[in-house]
């Protein structure tokens, strides 16, 4: 096993830039490094020196993806407007010199030459420094030809090309294993057809790594299976999963059913995230009221059944199974509460409001607490404690907010206030530009914006 360090030397440095003195010293704009400055290359040199001292491999992945604002901040003020490709190539050449100092073999992501935010023009010739490999990352396409076309495009630059797909664990607490399966089958087949020798399964942690790391094992076993078998046979793959993880293919896909219900089109709805926005959205100020109203399945009953299924699983990690059982039960209670409160308030149905105040709302606090306890247990099994506090703040905040909603409704029921302004405002479509014809569920993956449209920081 060769362990290869993966770092960022251009963008995605917002965690590093959390420190104000670091931000002022190294940031250009947003999460992008201020390139072209000696201080920046001293920093990168220190990074390379540190990694060279603790890894035996000579290979290093330098990142450099999604630098949307490259050269558009302090760099623009000091140097002037330059094409992003030119800035990128200058930066690459400088870093290649640093890598040579430590006898390192650098790999970078490909998108700064081919994506919408910095696309090489047709017929434009660029020269990537010799000795730098490109890694084409893509985990979105569902057909092999799309990957074949992009691999050919990347090879036109003359660099060695490898491929990175994804084990979809970054869509909230619910992993999208169906997406992993469909995109990986297409992408790895393209890699096989074009003779690519090395592939990577990425497992990002967007929005605070809500899902357990262990859910990425589904994608890792899939990559292993496809590396060892010329064709995908579902029954055989299920046997691989059972052998390595104790869970069958159908068991694993149940995790994804918190979002992708079996009744829905499994490709057309493959990216929807109802579990995330139902879990987080406010009880009095919900963003996704239209999705509750248009839900064509009894989502609560479906979640209650999934909770029973997770409880009954004998294989896999018991702590992960328990977490998903608790999460499903919480969703079974929470998902339509904002709509029920809204309806009862506008119908002047005080009895229903009182029943919610004394029944499902206090139960929701207990449900959230169980989710927090079981997610904490899994986190501390898998990872350092750093970052767990974010999920604790979020779920703890949901518990406190639920108690506050109970108090607000009690004030209304007792006559202490004669109206609730939170429930008087019109409910607007949260995604008016969404082109999908499917109304019961959408894709939305931002916890804090779902909890409140008021800014939580400045």
Taking the C-alpha atoms of residue 305 and residue 309, their distance in angstroms, rounded to an integer, is 6
Query: What's residue 373's pLDDT?
Result: 99
Residue ranges covered by each domain of the chain: 16-252, 272-451
pLDDT digits (tens, 9 = 90+) for 235-258: 999 999 999 999 999 999 999 999
The CATH number, out of the four listed (3.40.50.12660, 3.20.20.80, 3.40.50.9100, 3.30.420.40), of the domain defined by the range 16-252 = 3.20.20.80
Is 39 within 8 Å of 33 (Cβ atoms)? Answer: no
Give the CATH number of domain 272-451. 1.20.120.670
- The pTM (predicted TM-score) of the whole model is 0.96
Give the pLDDT confidence of 415-450 residue by residue, as tens digits.
999 999 999 999 888 999 988 889 999 999 999 999
What span, in angstroms and rounded, lies between the C-alpha atoms of 11 and 200? Answer: 20
Helices and strands (H, E) in the chain, number of each type: 19, 7
Cα–Cα dist 166/162, whole Å: 14
Give the per-residue pLDDT at 125. 75
Low-confidence ranges of the chain (pLDDT < 70): 117-123
Helices 388-414 & 337-346 angle (0-180, nearest 10):
20
- Residue ranges in 102-197 assigned as alpha helix (H): 144-155, 177-193
Per-residue pLDDT at 158: 85
> In this structure, how many other beta carbons lie within 10 angstroms of the beta carbon of residue 256?
24
């Amino acid at each position: 096993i060769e362990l290869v360090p993966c770092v960022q030397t251009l963008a995605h440095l917002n965690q590093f830039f959390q420190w104000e003195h670091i931000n002022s010293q190294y940031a250009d704009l947003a999460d992008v490094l201020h390139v072209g400055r000696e201080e920046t290359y001293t920093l990168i040199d220190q990074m390379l020196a540190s990694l060279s001292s603790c890894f035996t491999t000579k290979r290093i992945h330098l990142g450099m993806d999604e630098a949307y604002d490259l050269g558009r901040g302090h760099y623009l003020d000091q140097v002037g407007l330059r094409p992003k490709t030119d800035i990128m190539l200058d930066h690459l050449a400088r870093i290649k010199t640093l890598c040579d100092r430590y006898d390192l073999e650098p790999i970078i992501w490909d998108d700064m030459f081919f994506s919408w935010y910095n696309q090489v023009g047709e017929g434009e010739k660029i020269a990537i420094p010799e000795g730098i490999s490109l890694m084409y990352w893509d985990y979105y396409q569902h057909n092999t030809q799309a990957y074949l076309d992009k691999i050919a495009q990347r090879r036109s630059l003359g660099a060695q090309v490898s491929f990175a797909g994804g084990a979809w664990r970054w869509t909230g607490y619910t992993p999208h294993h169906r997406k992993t399966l469909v995109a990986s089958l297409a992408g790895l087949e393209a890699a096989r057809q074009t003779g690519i020798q090395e592939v990577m399964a990425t497992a990002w942690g967007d929005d605070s790594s809500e899902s357990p790391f262990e859910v990425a094992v589904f994608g890792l076993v899939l990559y292993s299976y496809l590396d060892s078998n010329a064709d995908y046979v579902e029954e055989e793959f299920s046997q691989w999963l059972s052998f390595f993880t104790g869970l069958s293919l159908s068991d694993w896909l149940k995790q994804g059913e918190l979002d992708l219900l079996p009744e829905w089109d499994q490709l057309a709805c493959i990216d929807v995230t109802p579990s995330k926005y139902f879990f987080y959205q406010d009880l009095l100020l919900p963003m996704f009221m239209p999705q509750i109203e248009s839900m064509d399945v009894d989502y609560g009953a479906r979640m209650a059944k999934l909770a029973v299924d997770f409880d009954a699983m004998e294989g896999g990690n018991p702590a992960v199974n328990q977490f998903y059982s608790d999460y499903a039960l919480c969703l079974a209670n929470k998902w339509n509460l904002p709509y029920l409160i809204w309806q009862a308030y506008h119908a002047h149905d005080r009895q229903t409001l009182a029943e919610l105040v004394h029944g499902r709302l206090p139960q929701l606090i207990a449900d959230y607490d169980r989710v927090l306890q079981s997610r904490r247990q899994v986190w501390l099994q898998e990872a350092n404690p750093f970052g767990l506090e974010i999920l604790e703040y979020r779920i703890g905040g949901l518990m406190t907010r639920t108690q506050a909603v109970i108090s607000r409704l009690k004030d209304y029921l007792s006559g202490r206030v004669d109206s609730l302004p939170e429930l008087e405002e019109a409910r607007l479509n949260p995604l008016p530009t969404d082109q999908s014809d499917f109304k019961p569920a959408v894709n939305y993956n931002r916890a804090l914006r779902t909890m409140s449209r008021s800014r939580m920081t400045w």
